[in-house]
């Protein structure tokens, strides 16, 4: 195995210069850095961070556990999160729980056992034992994609309840009263529960009974969104608007509407949530809730870095969402 001394000899510099080049490249001239990195590549040298990690009691590795890798809902935020960490010399390890709380708990313990200095988690729903495990180990963590003033944990996110309530208000303002909902499974998913609660609150404020909602609950996929939309369209009377808990469901609903010969929004309106790239590509364009995913990822990374350094970044950060109007929402049919 090539050593630091081998790299130094190959690049004709001192071992201290090689170390600076690898750990603080901004302190080395560009010409020297290129020579050292060429030697690193030629020799196949990989720094051994084990002893350094043991001495510093940190590995410069953070973990992130997201519910799924099968769609783009978390992609933007996670990319910004990783970019911010990389700029600070942190390596990111990512795991997917597939919305399985037991699997997520195993992944949390596995990342901690492998020396993760800090963790990014999605949503607050997990057992008290899991939080106790992290607290006892002294592992900093930040919860993202949610903001709840009643929960005293470090978080960076948005108010899912308020965001979906605002969108539902716009749907009601268009005259829709017979409304269908396609939601993610709400058990163990506080984001889905809060969005559904926002819909119910808006209906109640307008004197409507949330019990009259036509509800389809399913797992994340475009095909599932299409299937559940078809079920809603089989109802009598069928809904004039379908509120989807995310853009993935809504894309499936738009696809199925076309298959069924339904015009959107003339025959039925469809809305989403997240404003992923897909929302602007589908036809018609999807009216949805815009979530500042990238800013959320950046701020979550900065908060974790501050927590690991022993700083107090203050209370959780709430980010604003906005309604992105496109063509899929229109007046209720007369």
pLDDT band of 57, cuts 50, 70, 90: low
Average pLDDT for 155-170: 97
**CB neighbour list of residue 48: distance below 8 Å, 6 or more residues apart:** none
**CB neighbour list of residue 14: distance below 8 Å, 6 or more residues apart:** 8
Q: Which among 70, 65, 77 has a CA at the least distance from the CA of 275?
A: 77
Ranges 57-71, 72-86, 88-102, 169-183: which has the least confidence: 57-71
Average pLDDT for 210-227: 95
> Are 269 and 171 spatial neighbours (Cβ–Cβ below 8 Å)?
yes
**How do beta strands 288-290 and 322-324 pair?**
antiparallel
Q: Which among 187, 197, 160, 183 has a CA at the least distance from the CA of 100?
A: 187
Q: Apex CA 202: angle with CA 201 and CA 208, to 5°?
A: 90
For residue 85, pLDDT beyond 80: yes
Digit-coded pLDDT (tens) for 277-303: 999 999 999 999 999 999 999 999 999
Ranges 110-114, 194-198, 262-266: which has the least confidence: 110-114
For the chain, the residue count is: 334
**Partners of 65 in the β-ladder:** 95, 121
Distance from chain centroid for Cα 170: 25
DSSP characters for 262-317? --TTTT-EEE-SB--HHHHHSSSPPBEEE--HHHHHHHHHHHHHHHHTT----S-E
For residue 54, pLDDT beyond 70: no
Q: Which helix (H) or strand (E) holds 182?
A: strand 179-184
The rounded distance, in Å, linking the Cα atoms of 217 and 228 is 8
**CB neighbour list of residue 99: distance below 8 Å, 6 or more residues apart:** 67, 68, 185, 188, 189, 219, 220
The rounded distance, in Å, linking the Cα atoms of 296 and 294 is 5
CATH numbers and ranges of domains, the chain: 4-55 (1.10.260.40), 60-158+293-319 (3.40.50.2300), 160-291 (3.40.50.2300)
For residue 70, pLDDT beyond 50: yes
pLDDT at 139: 93
Q: Apex CA 225: angle with CA 221 and CA 284, to 5°?
A: 110
DSSP characters for 112-181? HHTT-SEEEEESS-S-HHHHHHHHHHT--EEEES---TTS-S-EEE--HHHHHHHHHHHHHHTT--SEEE
pLDDT band of 66, cuts 50, 70, 90: very high
For residue 1, pLDDT beyond 80: no
Digit-coded pLDDT (tens) for 296-313: 999 999 999 999 999 988
> Are 43 and 2 spatial neighbours (Cβ–Cβ below 8 Å)?
yes
Token couple for 295 = 């800013």
The pTM score is 0.82
């Amino acid at each position: 195995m090539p050593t630091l001394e081998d790299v130094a000899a190959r690049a004709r510099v001192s071992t201290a210069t090689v170390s600076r080049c690898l750990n603080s490249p901004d302190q080395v001239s560009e010409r020297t850095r290129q020579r050292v990195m060429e030697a690193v590549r030629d020799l196949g040298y990989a720094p051994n961070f084990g002893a350094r990690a043991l001495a510093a009691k940190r590995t410069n590795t953070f973990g992130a556990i997201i519910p799924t890798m099968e769609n783009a809902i978390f992609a933007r935020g996670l990319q910004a999160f990783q970019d911010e960490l990389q700029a600070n010399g942190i390596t990111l390890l990512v795991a997917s729980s597939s919305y399985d709380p037991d699997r997520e708990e195993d992944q949390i313990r596995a990342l901690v056992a492998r020396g993760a200095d800090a963790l990014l988690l999605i949503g607050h729903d997990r057992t008290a034992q899991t939080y106790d495990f992290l607290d006892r180990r002294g592992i900093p963590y930040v919860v993202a994609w949610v903001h709840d003033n009643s929960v005293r944990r470090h978080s960076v996110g948005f108010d899912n309840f308020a965001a979906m309530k605002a969108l539902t208000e716009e749907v009601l303002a268009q005259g829709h009263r017979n409304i269908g909902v396609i939601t993610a499974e709400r058990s163990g998913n506080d984001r889905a529960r809060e969005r559904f609660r926002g819909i119910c609150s808006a209906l109640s404020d307008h004197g409507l009974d949330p019990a009259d909602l036509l509800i389809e609950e399913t797992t994340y996929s475009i095909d599932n969104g299409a299937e559940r939309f078809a079920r809603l369209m089989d109802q009598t009377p069928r809904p004039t608007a379908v509120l989807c808990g995310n853009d993935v469901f809504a894309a499936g609903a738009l696809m199925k509407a076309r298959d069924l010969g339904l015009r959107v929004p003339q025959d039925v309106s469809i809305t989403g949530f997240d404003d992923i790239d897909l929302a602007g590509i589908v036809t018609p364009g999807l009216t949805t809730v815009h979530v500042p995913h990238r800013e959320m990822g950046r701020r979550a990374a900065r908060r974790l870095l501050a927590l690991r350094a022993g700083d107090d970044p203050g209370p959780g950060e709430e980010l604003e969402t906005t309604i992105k109007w496109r063509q899929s929402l229109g007046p209720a049919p007369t």
